[in-house]
Structure 1
Amino acid sequence: MNASKSRAALLEFLDYLARKGLMNKTTALSRKAAVNNVLGILDEEEADDVSILDLDDAMMRFRNVYGMKYTPDSLSTYKSRVKSSIEDFLSYRENPMAFKVGRPTSGKKAVDRHKSGESRTSELVAKQLPFTVERATPSASPTILPIPLRADLIIYIQGLPYNLTSSEASKIANVVKAMAVED
């Protein structure tokens, strides 16, 4: 396997995991598709070393170019898959003999079975799961919406909530109208 930390070496690593049975083939293919798509926006120089990649920046660029083709949930999943792939790849590069594929956390409780048949939450998983408070209202969309205004001008809107109401859209439109100059 290639010893570099390039995008190509990362893709080769994902193939290796599937081929050797170290990762479910479907999972490896899903990760590979995400890596191909997201890191496909990088030029060759940027793709030479994924260990120094700013994933947030790469995701923003991917979202700006292809965001309209993906839902916010899909973009989040892509980011998670790319991040996990890079982390596993770098862990393998650091120490191939001690490497174990990272286990994705889905937020579901892991259950251990005791001899008596009772189930309990695994202490290990409970320690690994972050404590978060879910919002009652949906957060703002990370999608940046391009709006062609004129032949030579495109504006961008960001931060609209997923559940934007008609009256809220009217408020936004009124703010924009207030900024307009007479024709």
Structure 2
Amino acid sequence: MSDTDITKSKFEEFIFNLSDVDFTNKVGINKKTADNIRQSANKVMDIIPDDTPATEWNIDDIVESLLLIDDISDSAVKGYKSRVKSAVKKFIAYSNGKPIGSKPRDVKPKTKPTEPEVTAEQVKTFELPIPLRSSLILNIANLPTDLTEEEAERVCRIIKSYAVPARAE
């Protein structure tokens, strides 16, 4: 790479191309990131020296010069510095033929959750409808088909604990 490959005019061309979705996809830059660095770079483009290669640009000084032109906050200056540095770094990498997009993350393959094995010892259940009142049928679900007397007594005690005393009529 020569200094003629990393000139301001080539940088302007690179920044202009960031508005092209096909270009950003090709080089691997997220569209939102491309928009942010393009807007910041365009803001300081007039301040960048014409005759100096990108490797020699002092981004801090360039962005600080923006304070003389625009009334911007300190936090905005930090944002501009970060984005313009990112733009220049990506431009130099692109000019060198190096990848400029984010590194692909290791993605674990999605696996289906393991289903419990059906065994011969799985409990078989049924639903027991009990006519309770003339217009009410109580359904007790998931009763095991091999319900023991002890388990039945336990269910009775639990249900009895919810009972209210009968009203005198």
TM normalised by structure 1 equals 0.45
Bigger Rg, which one: 2
Q: Between the two structures, name the one with larger relative contact order (CA 8 Å, sep ≥ 6).
A: 2
